[in-house]
Amino acid sequence: MKSIAIVDYGMGNLRSVAQALRHVAPDADVAITQSGMRIDNADRVVLPGQGAMPECMSYLRASGLLPAVLRAARDKPLLGVCIGEQMLSDFSDEGDTEGLGLIPGRCVRFAPQQDEPSRKIPHMGWNNVRQAKSADGRSHALWQGIADDTWFYFVHSYYVKTASNHDIAGVTDYGGSFTSAIARANIFATQFHPEKSANAGLKLYRNFVAWNP
C-alpha cells in the first residue's frame, strides 16, 4: 500500500487535497499529518499552501515540520500546490520572505497594467496551461493523459520566476505569460489548484500517485 503524507503546518486546503487523492488512489494510505516521522515514512509527500507566503513559511518553521519536508525533497516524489509551489523557491517579494531554496527562483507579484484592464489581481478563476516540452518534444510525466492547454483553477497574486527555463513545466497567459508549473528531479509543483480543477486536476493527482521519478 502506498502512503501519501499531506503536510499539515496550519496553512492549506488540506481536506480538499486529501479527498482528491483518496478518490484517485482508494487503496493508498492518505494522511493529513503534523508528524515529521509520518512524513519520513511516507512514499510520497504533498506540500499545500493557502494564504500569504510569510505566514506559510513562518508556520512551517514553527510546526517543526521543515526538516522533514527538506528530507522528503531529497528523494521522495513531492508535489507542491499553490503557495506550496512558491515556497519551493529561494525568495518571495511577498513580505521579503526566504523560501525553501529547492528550485532556484524568486516569487514576484503580477504588475498592474493600465493597458490591460481585464488583468485583475489576484488572478482568480480558470485559465489554460501550456505544457513545457523537453528537447525531445516530451512533456513532464505528470501531464500524461492531460491535453496541452487544458484549463485549471487559479487563485493567486504572486508566481515563481525560475532561475532556469529547465525547471519550467507549464506556462499560462495572463496579460503576459507566467510560470504555472515547475519541476526538478523528484519535485513537481503547480500554481493552480488541481483539487479544484475537475477531471484534469484529478488526473494530475492520479499521475502523481503513480509517478516514479
DSSP-assigned letter for residue 111: P
Nearest alpha carbon to residue 47 among 71, 23, 83, 93: 83
- Amino acid identity of residue 155, one-letter, is V
Quote the CA–CA distance of 72 and 69 in Å, as a whole number.
5
Asked whether the beta carbons of 183 and 140 are under 8 A apart, the reply is yes
162-167, long-range: CB < 8 A, 24+ apart: 162/89, 162/103, 162/104, 162/105, 163/90, 163/104, 163/105, 163/106, 164/104, 167/103, 167/104, 167/105
Residue 133, SS3 per DSSP: coil
The residues carrying an active-site annotation are 82, 193, 195
Asked whether the beta carbons of 33 and 5 are under 8 A apart, the reply is yes
| Other Cβ atoms within 10 Å of 70 Cβ, number | 12
